[in-house]
Chains A and B, each alone.
Chain A
Amino acid sequence: MVDIVNIRAHAKDLLEKGTVKMVLGYQRGTAGVLAEPAFITDAGQADHLVWDPTCVQNLALYLVNEKKAQSHQRDPDTRPIAIIAKGCDSRAVAVLLQERHFERKDVHVIGVSCGTLGVVDKNKLSKALNGRVATKVEPHGTDSFKVTTAEGFVDVAAADVLADRCLECACAYPAMHDVVFGEKHEDRGYPARFTALGQLEAKSEDERWAYWEGHFNRCLRCYACRSVCPMCYCPECVVDSIELMVDPTTSADEKANRIKWIERSAVASENSMYHLVRAIHLAGRCIDCAECERVCPVDIPIRMLNNKLEKEAKDMFGYEPGLDPELPSLVASFRDDDPNSFIR
């Protein structure tokens, strides 16, 4: 069990001593039951921190944003940032370190173990509550949640409301940390990793295309999935190049000749391009925090695309992302015995 009191005390200590400039954590949200990110810079506010199964966000994103902000500051505060990280979040930090986005000394990882549980899926929760509105979710034992609603308490089985990725999680304990709260559980008793993916893979080619075409068709290209991903940090994305300055003297020729790999219109073919490019760019980097899928307003199963490449990388190249910041990344390395038989 993770006691929030200990986390608060640790955060307060860090801020009082000034060893970190900020603690990234969670606080009670103002919109619904989910916690929201908290940016604590003052030891007095450390008591706002919360830790419960509604702390869904991957805060590694804000490490990236902070790094970007720093590059525009004349005299940036270069003290480390402390981040409260679940297993998946700590792997995201490891990938960012691997890519030298920042250095190990720039971040203080306060690991929290999800134990045998994880975080809730908001949609599954409201379904399980039959329309009642949850105001609080607490762990209850090792396999259920105690949910508070206006009508009283409800006990909900964890397997019914855990986020999909938590059900298949193999790293609920943050391997990379400076301090850690909570214990490690070897067998969490949920489906094996890639169970959902396997079901999709088992469908026929036509069924899979029908499935994906249907989903790609609905994508709004709002790019929420891109914005929320800690690994999608490029200042300019290949799908919408913005670098070309357009001013009154920009010729029509220049505008026309700008490289445009993908049209901006949200039609099926361009959406497919976007999703394939996004998935490929995250190969070996995505750590399955499933934030992209969570924020999608039209529920596109983005996670399956990421999972597919994660599985192939694991099966064929023995590569798992976010385990060791010192390893070379998936597509920047190779082995002599990589599969070759598919090549003519």
Chain B
Amino acid sequence: MASTPTQTPKDPSVFEPRIVAFLCKWCSSAGSDLAGVSRMQYPSNAVPITVMCSGSVSPVYILSAFNKGADGVLVSGCHPGDCHYLKGNYFARRKIFLVQKLLSFIGIEKDRFRMSWVSAAEGAKFAQVVEEFVRDIRTLGPQRKLKAKR
């Protein structure tokens, strides 16, 4: 069985989850910055992708991330009521809910796909969300179901 390539060259036998995190520019991305500048310790497994709004995250982005080998996908936006565009995160909530239900219906582990509300002031929450996510995915192991076999 071929082991999944990881970003840590140190010990290839240890599974390092690869997480794609879609963070909205106004809250969650700023929240992750805050975690960084406050020198909080949290796993470096999440690849952040800043988007203008959680509502702009198309389900195709999420599926594509899994297809390209992500072990988990996180979508994070402003708390309800705080969206820079007023309503974007409410639309996101509906869409993400449906994607989550569909993924678990076809048999993808529910814990591989997550949504969170992280404000610009919640650096600690961001660190915690990522930490929990990495921990949960570590127990699930690599994601192979949707990963492109090319």
Give the B-binding residues of A (Cβ under 8 A): 201, 205-213, 238, 261-263, 267-270, 272-273, 276-277, 279-280, 283, 305, 308-309, 312-313, 316-317, 330-332, 334, 336, 338-340, 342-344
Residues of B whose CB lies within 8 Å of any CB of A are 59-60, 63-64, 67, 80, 87, 90-91, 93-109, 114-117, 129, 132, 145-150
Q: What chain B residues lie within 8 Å of A205 (beta carbons)?
A: 104, 107, 109
Contacting pair B107 A212 (CB below 8 A): yes
B93 touches A338 (CB 8 A): yes
Main secondary structure of the interface of A (DSSP, over half): helix
| B97 and A262 contact, CB distance less than 8 A | no
Question: With A238-B60, A280-B59, A312-B98 in contact, is A338–B105 under 8 Å at CB?
Answer: no
Interface of B is mostly: helix
Are the CB atoms of B94 and A334 closer together than 8 Å?
yes
In the complex, the 6 A-B pairs of residues with the closest C-beta atoms, listed nearest first: A209-B107, A208-B107, A334-B90, A344-B116, A212-B106, A280-B59
Cα A344 to Cα B128 with chains together (Å): 10
Please give the distance in Å from B91's CB to the nearest CB on chain A: 6
Q: Check if B107 sits within 8 Å of A334, measured CB to CB.
A: no
Known: A272-B146, A331-B91, A340-B93; 20 extra A-B contacts, CB below 8 A, are A205-B107, A207-B107, A209-B107, A211-B107, A212-B107, A238-B60, A262-B64, A263-B150, A267-B149, A269-B67, A270-B148, A273-B64, A280-B59, A308-B102, A308-B105, A312-B97, A336-B80, A343-B115, A343-B117, A344-B115
In the assembled complex, the CB of B32 is this many whole angstroms from the nearest CB of chain A, namely 14
- Among A262, A280, A331, A336, max chain B CB count under 10 A is at A280
Considering residues B93, B96, B98, B104, which has the most beta carbons from chain A within 10 angstroms of its beta carbon?
A: B98
Q: How far is the CA of A269 from the CA of B107 in the complex (A)?
A: 14
In the bound complex, CA of A201 to CA of B147 (Å): 23
| Nearest Cβ on chain A to B35's Cβ, whole angstroms | 15
Q: Which residue of B lies closest to A269 (CB)?
A: B148
What residues of A have a CB within 8 angstroms of the CB of B95 in the complex?
Answer: 331
Report the minimal beta-carbon distance from B73 to chain A, rounded to whole angstroms.
Answer: 13
- Nearest CB in chain A to that of B80: its residue: A340
Q: Is the CB of A280 within 8 A of B99?
A: yes
Which residue from chain A places its CB closest to the CB of B106 in the assembled complex? A212
